[in-house]
């Protein structure tokens, strides 16, 4: 087991990380990374938010309760529009090279076109929820082997876990359980830190309000 989790997400008491890995975000943006972890309670992800898939502007963090995950897989898709746009940009760029005043623009277009074509094969790690939806996390196509291995290990770990399994109580104990105001405030902090799910937050909040 490892204690490393994506994006510095805090683990709940008695929560343990089972599988964790770090992947290049894409073939072109190899300097950015997608981080994924499976704990005995949830699947945690941290991926870069970007402009045009190249310029990082922050990090997107998410987590999904393990009981809501139907499976994890990895697959490759081709961005046909990216190939078409890249080829068009290269042709326009080559034409621009013979015009003295726009040669710099031509070089930019050629480089952009090459980036689109190189990035056309896209690899994803896909998390399927019990409702039939799919969340995709992009990784570099060069990480295909590792992504397939990671998806296989995560799926096996989820399959081995009993339905509804958790290593600890549904929610961490509240220090201010006797003080409804303090308990609600701490419950809100636990939700903001992603230590409990939205369903757990709603159920525990209802219990506290019912005691008033």
Angstrom distances, CA of residue 150 to CA of 40, 139, 141, 144 = 16, 12, 14, 10
At 76, the pLDDT band (50, 70, 90 cuts) reads confident
The Cα–Cα gap between 125 and 35 comes to: 11
The Cα–Cα gap between 100 and 96 comes to: 8
The Cα–Cα gap between 140 and 131 comes to: 28
pLDDT over threshold 50, residue 199: yes
Q: What is the pLDDT of residues 3-58, one digit of tens each?
A: 446 666 777 777 888 899 999 998 888 899 999 999 888 898 988 888 877 788 98
Q: Facing residues of 22 across strands?
A: 35
Q: Which of these, 8, 64, 33, lies nearest to 146 by C-alpha position?
A: 33
Domain residues of the chain, as ranges? 6-70+127-160, 80-116, 180-210
Q: What is the pLDDT of residues 93-108, one digit of tens each?
A: 999 998 888 889 999 9
* Inter-residue contact 110 to 98 (CB < 8 Å): no
* Inter-residue contact 119 to 79 (CB < 8 Å): yes
Question: pLDDT value at position 7?
Answer: 62
Kindly report which listed range (14-18, 32-36, 154-158, 160-164) carries the lowest average pLDDT score.
Answer: 160-164
Domain 6-70+127-160, CATH number (from 2.60.40, 1.20.272, 2.30.29, 3.40.1580): 2.30.29
pLDDT over threshold 50, residue 169: no
- Which are the contacts of 152, defined by CB distance < 8 A and separation ≥ 6? none
pTM greater than 0.85: no
């Amino acid at each position: 087991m490892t204690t490393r989790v994506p994006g510095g997400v805090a683990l709940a008491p008695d929560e343990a990380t089972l599988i964790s890995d770090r992947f290049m975000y894409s073939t072109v943006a190899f300097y950015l990374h997608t981080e994924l972890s499976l704990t005995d309670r949830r699947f945690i992800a941290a991926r870069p938010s970007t402009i045009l898939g190249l310029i990082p502007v922050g990090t997107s963090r998410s987590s999904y309760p393990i009981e809501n995950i139907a499976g994890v897989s990895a697959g490759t898709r081709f961005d046909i529009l990216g190939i078409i746009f890249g080829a068009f940009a290269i042709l326009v760029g080559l034409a621009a090279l013979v015009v003295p005043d726009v040669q710099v623009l031509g070089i930019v277009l050629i480089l952009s076109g090459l980036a689109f074509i190189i990035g056309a094969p896209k690899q994803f790690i896909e998390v399927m929820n019990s409702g039939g939806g799919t969340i995709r996390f992009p990784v570099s196509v060069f990480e295909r082997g590792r992504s397939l291995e990671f998806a296989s290990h995560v799926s096996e770990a989820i399959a081995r876990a009993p339905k509804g399994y958790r290593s600890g109580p549904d929610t961490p104990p509240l220090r201010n359980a006797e003080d409804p105001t303090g308990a609600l405030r701490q419950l809100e902090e636990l939700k903001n830190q992603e230590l409990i799910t939205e369903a757990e937050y709603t159920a525990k909040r209802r219990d506290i309000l019912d005691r008033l």
